[in-house]
Amino acid sequence: MKVLSIVKYIFTVAGLGMLIGAFYSFNNTREFLSDALTTQGKVVELVRSRSSDSITYRPVVEFTTQDGLTIEFASSSGSNPPSYTRGEAVDVVYQESSPERAEINSFFSLWGAATVLGLLGSVFFIIGFSIIVLARRKRRKIQVLKKNGVPIKAEVTGVAINTSVQANGRSPYQIVSQWQNPATSKIHVFSSENIWFDPSDYILGEQITVLIERNNPEKYYVDISFLPELSG
Protein backbone atom coordinates (compact mmCIF):
# COMPACT_ATOMS: atom_id res chain seq x y z
CA MET A 1 0.00 0.00 0.00
CA LYS A 2 2.06 2.91 -1.32
CA VAL A 3 -0.48 5.40 0.00
CA LEU A 4 0.16 4.22 3.56
CA SER A 5 3.91 4.43 3.04
CA ILE A 6 3.75 8.13 2.13
CA VAL A 7 1.22 9.16 4.79
CA LYS A 8 3.98 9.38 7.40
CA TYR A 9 5.91 11.82 5.19
CA ILE A 10 2.79 13.90 4.52
CA PHE A 11 2.13 14.16 8.27
CA THR A 12 5.76 15.07 8.98
CA VAL A 13 6.00 17.73 6.25
CA ALA A 14 2.57 19.18 7.11
CA GLY A 15 3.50 19.31 10.79
CA LEU A 16 6.84 20.95 10.05
CA GLY A 17 5.11 23.51 7.82
CA MET A 18 2.61 24.39 10.56
CA LEU A 19 5.41 24.68 13.13
CA ILE A 20 7.28 27.07 10.83
CA GLY A 21 4.05 29.04 10.38
CA ALA A 22 3.59 29.13 14.16
CA PHE A 23 7.13 30.47 14.60
CA TYR A 24 6.61 33.27 12.07
CA SER A 25 3.23 34.16 13.57
CA PHE A 26 4.72 34.24 17.08
CA ASN A 27 7.68 36.33 15.91
CA ASN A 28 5.48 38.80 14.01
CA THR A 29 3.23 39.29 17.05
CA ARG A 30 6.22 39.77 19.33
CA GLU A 31 7.70 42.40 17.00
CA PHE A 32 4.31 44.08 16.70
CA LEU A 33 3.93 44.33 20.48
CA SER A 34 7.50 45.53 21.05
CA ASP A 35 6.60 49.12 20.07
CA ALA A 36 2.78 49.03 20.00
CA LEU A 37 0.61 51.60 21.76
CA THR A 38 -2.36 50.70 23.92
CA THR A 39 -5.71 52.43 24.04
CA GLN A 40 -9.38 51.61 24.51
CA GLY A 41 -11.85 50.94 21.74
CA LYS A 42 -15.45 49.90 21.33
CA VAL A 43 -17.03 47.00 19.44
CA VAL A 44 -19.30 48.60 16.81
CA GLU A 45 -20.27 45.55 14.80
CA LEU A 46 -20.03 41.76 14.60
CA VAL A 47 -19.14 40.48 11.14
CA ARG A 48 -20.62 37.10 10.30
CA SER A 49 -18.21 34.78 8.46
CA ARG A 50 -19.09 31.40 7.00
CA SER A 51 -16.55 28.65 6.38
CA SER A 52 -17.23 25.22 4.89
CA ASP A 53 -19.23 23.95 7.86
CA SER A 54 -19.33 26.66 10.52
CA ILE A 55 -20.19 30.29 11.19
CA THR A 56 -18.06 32.66 13.25
CA TYR A 57 -18.46 36.27 14.33
CA ARG A 58 -15.55 38.71 14.15
CA PRO A 59 -15.79 41.95 16.15
CA VAL A 60 -15.28 45.25 14.34
CA VAL A 61 -13.64 47.72 16.72
CA GLU A 62 -13.46 51.49 16.59
CA PHE A 63 -10.81 53.46 18.48
CA THR A 64 -9.13 56.85 18.48
CA THR A 65 -5.36 57.19 18.17
CA GLN A 66 -3.19 59.60 20.16
CA ASP A 67 -3.22 61.85 17.09
CA GLY A 68 -7.02 62.00 17.13
CA LEU A 69 -7.65 59.72 14.15
CA THR A 70 -10.68 57.45 14.31
CA ILE A 71 -9.83 53.93 13.11
CA GLU A 72 -12.00 50.89 12.51
CA PHE A 73 -10.62 47.38 12.13
CA ALA A 74 -11.96 43.84 12.07
CA SER A 75 -10.34 41.42 14.50
CA SER A 76 -8.31 38.64 12.91
CA SER A 77 -10.07 36.05 15.07
CA GLY A 78 -13.71 35.12 15.43
CA SER A 79 -15.81 32.72 17.46
CA ASN A 80 -19.25 31.21 17.79
CA PRO A 81 -20.91 32.17 20.04
CA PRO A 82 -19.44 35.69 19.75
CA SER A 83 -16.83 36.60 22.35
CA TYR A 84 -17.92 40.24 22.36
CA THR A 85 -21.11 42.28 22.17
CA ARG A 86 -21.87 45.54 20.35
CA GLY A 87 -20.92 48.51 22.47
CA GLU A 88 -18.48 46.53 24.62
CA ALA A 89 -15.26 48.32 25.57
CA VAL A 90 -12.04 46.50 24.68
CA ASP A 91 -8.33 47.17 24.98
CA VAL A 92 -6.62 47.79 21.64
CA VAL A 93 -2.97 47.64 20.62
CA TYR A 94 -1.82 49.40 17.44
CA GLN A 95 1.22 50.68 15.59
CA GLU A 96 1.70 54.45 15.78
CA SER A 97 3.13 54.55 12.24
CA SER A 98 0.29 52.44 10.82
CA PRO A 99 -2.69 52.61 13.19
CA GLU A 100 -4.83 50.54 10.81
CA ARG A 101 -2.67 47.66 11.90
CA ALA A 102 -4.45 47.10 15.18
CA GLU A 103 -5.72 44.19 17.23
CA ILE A 104 -7.76 43.52 20.34
CA ASN A 105 -5.42 43.12 23.29
CA SER A 106 -6.40 39.56 24.21
CA PHE A 107 -4.48 36.32 24.23
CA PHE A 108 -6.41 34.61 21.45
CA SER A 109 -6.50 37.65 19.18
CA LEU A 110 -2.75 38.11 19.49
CA TRP A 111 -1.44 34.60 19.97
CA GLY A 112 -4.30 32.39 18.76
CA ALA A 113 -2.87 31.67 15.31
CA ALA A 114 0.56 30.78 16.69
CA THR A 115 -0.98 28.61 19.41
CA VAL A 116 -3.29 26.66 17.08
CA LEU A 117 -0.60 26.19 14.44
CA GLY A 118 1.90 25.15 17.10
CA LEU A 119 -0.40 22.56 18.66
CA LEU A 120 -1.57 21.09 15.36
CA GLY A 121 1.95 21.16 13.93
CA SER A 122 3.33 19.37 16.99
CA VAL A 123 0.68 16.64 16.77
CA PHE A 124 1.18 16.08 13.02
CA PHE A 125 4.97 16.19 13.25
CA ILE A 126 5.16 13.84 16.25
CA ILE A 127 2.83 11.31 14.60
CA GLY A 128 4.59 11.38 11.23
CA PHE A 129 8.13 11.44 12.61
CA SER A 130 7.37 8.67 15.12
CA ILE A 131 6.05 6.43 12.34
CA ILE A 132 9.19 7.10 10.29
CA VAL A 133 11.50 6.31 13.23
CA LEU A 134 9.59 3.15 14.17
CA ALA A 135 9.55 1.97 10.54
CA ARG A 136 13.31 2.49 10.23
CA ARG A 137 13.96 0.66 13.49
CA LYS A 138 11.78 -2.19 12.27
CA ARG A 139 13.67 -2.37 8.96
CA ARG A 140 17.02 -2.42 10.79
CA LYS A 141 15.75 -5.18 13.07
CA ILE A 142 14.64 -7.23 10.06
CA GLN A 143 17.99 -6.68 8.33
CA VAL A 144 19.86 -7.86 11.41
CA LEU A 145 17.63 -10.95 11.71
CA LYS A 146 18.04 -11.75 8.01
CA LYS A 147 21.80 -11.55 8.43
CA ASN A 148 22.33 -13.09 11.87
CA GLY A 149 19.04 -14.73 12.78
CA VAL A 150 18.74 -18.46 13.48
CA PRO A 151 16.37 -20.06 10.94
CA ILE A 152 13.75 -22.41 12.33
CA LYS A 153 10.78 -24.19 10.80
CA ALA A 154 7.45 -23.19 12.33
CA GLU A 155 4.12 -24.88 11.74
CA VAL A 156 1.64 -22.74 9.81
CA THR A 157 -1.58 -22.49 11.81
CA GLY A 158 -3.52 -20.22 9.50
CA VAL A 159 -3.98 -16.82 7.88
CA ALA A 160 -5.48 -14.08 10.05
CA ILE A 161 -6.82 -10.61 9.30
CA ASN A 162 -5.10 -7.85 11.24
CA THR A 163 -8.13 -5.75 12.18
CA SER A 164 -5.98 -3.31 14.16
CA VAL A 165 -4.85 -1.82 10.84
CA GLN A 166 -7.26 -0.46 8.26
CA ALA A 167 -6.91 1.47 5.01
CA ASN A 168 -9.73 2.29 2.59
CA GLY A 169 -12.01 -0.05 4.52
CA ARG A 170 -9.58 -2.98 4.19
CA SER A 171 -7.37 -4.75 6.71
CA PRO A 172 -4.19 -6.69 5.86
CA TYR A 173 -3.53 -10.42 6.27
CA GLN A 174 -0.87 -12.10 8.40
CA ILE A 175 0.50 -15.62 8.23
CA VAL A 176 0.37 -17.13 11.73
CA SER A 177 2.63 -19.99 12.77
CA GLN A 178 3.89 -21.64 15.95
CA TRP A 179 7.02 -23.41 17.10
CA GLN A 180 7.92 -25.37 20.21
CA ASN A 181 11.30 -24.44 21.58
CA PRO A 182 13.12 -27.75 22.20
CA ALA A 183 15.26 -26.12 24.91
CA THR A 184 12.34 -24.89 27.03
CA SER A 185 9.34 -26.79 25.59
CA LYS A 186 7.54 -23.43 25.37
CA ILE A 187 5.34 -22.74 22.35
CA HIS A 188 5.99 -19.50 20.50
CA VAL A 189 3.45 -17.94 18.14
CA PHE A 190 4.74 -15.89 15.20
CA SER A 191 2.84 -13.43 13.00
CA SER A 192 4.20 -12.23 9.70
CA GLU A 193 4.31 -8.64 8.49
CA ASN A 194 1.12 -7.21 7.06
CA ILE A 195 0.22 -8.59 3.63
CA TRP A 196 -2.27 -6.67 1.49
CA PHE A 197 -3.65 -9.72 -0.32
CA ASP A 198 -4.78 -13.16 0.80
CA PRO A 199 -1.61 -15.31 0.85
CA SER A 200 -3.44 -18.61 1.44
CA ASP A 201 -2.97 -19.92 -2.10
CA TYR A 202 0.78 -19.25 -2.02
CA ILE A 203 1.61 -21.10 1.20
CA LEU A 204 3.36 -24.30 0.17
CA GLY A 205 3.44 -27.04 2.76
CA GLU A 206 2.69 -26.88 6.45
CA GLN A 207 5.85 -25.11 7.59
CA ILE A 208 7.36 -21.68 7.14
CA THR A 209 10.84 -20.31 7.86
CA VAL A 210 11.16 -17.95 10.80
CA LEU A 211 14.40 -16.17 11.69
CA ILE A 212 14.79 -15.72 15.44
CA GLU A 213 17.36 -13.95 17.57
CA ARG A 214 19.65 -16.45 19.23
CA ASN A 215 18.41 -17.24 22.74
CA ASN A 216 15.46 -14.85 22.30
CA PRO A 217 12.63 -16.20 20.10
CA GLU A 218 10.50 -13.18 21.03
CA LYS A 219 12.50 -11.25 18.45
CA TYR A 220 11.77 -12.81 15.10
CA TYR A 221 11.03 -12.29 11.43
CA VAL A 222 8.69 -14.50 9.43
CA ASP A 223 10.23 -15.07 6.00
CA ILE A 224 7.56 -14.23 3.41
CA SER A 225 9.99 -13.72 0.53
CA PHE A 226 8.27 -16.60 -1.31
CA LEU A 227 5.13 -14.49 -1.80
CA PRO A 228 4.64 -12.56 -5.06
CA GLU A 229 4.91 -8.79 -4.90
CA LEU A 230 1.71 -6.78 -4.99
CA SER A 231 1.55 -4.57 -8.09
CA GLY A 232 0.93 -0.86 -7.67
- Cα–Cα dist 14/7, whole Å: 10
Shared domain for 115 and 191, answered yes or no, is no
- Residue 232's pLDDT is 58
pLDDT at 1 over 60: no
- Residue 229's pLDDT is 84
Last residue of a domain, one of 99, 119, 139: 119
- Residue 4's pLDDT is 62
Shared domain for 26 and 80, answered yes or no, is yes
- Residue 3's pLDDT is 60
Last residue of a domain, one of 100, 119, 138: 119
What's the whole-number average pLDDT of the chain? 92
- Cα–Cα dist 221/205, whole Å: 19
- Average pLDDT in the 11-26 region? 96
The residues, any chain, with a CB within 8 Å of residue 75's CB and separated by 6 or more, are 58, 59, 60, 61, 103, 104, 109
- Residue 85's pLDDT is 94
Model pLDDT for residues 30-62, shown as the tens digit of each residue: 999 999 999 999 999 999 988 767 889 999 999
- Average pLDDT in the 73-85 region? 90
pLDDT at 168 over 90: no
Shared domain for 91 and 182, answered yes or no, is no
List the single range of 125-129, 164-168, 179-183, 204-208 with lowest mean pLDDT. 164-168
Q: Which amino acid is at 64?
A: T
Query: Could you give the number of structural domains in the chain?
Result: 2
In a domain, 209, yes or no: yes
Would you say how long the chain is, in residues?
Answer: 232
* Domain hosting residue 104, numbered range: 2-119
Shared domain for 19 and 96, answered yes or no, is yes
In a domain, 232, yes or no: no
pLDDT at 216 over 80: yes
In a domain, 75, yes or no: yes
Predicted confidence band at 169 (pLDDT cuts at 50, 70, 90)? confident
- Cα–Cα dist 73/75, whole Å: 6
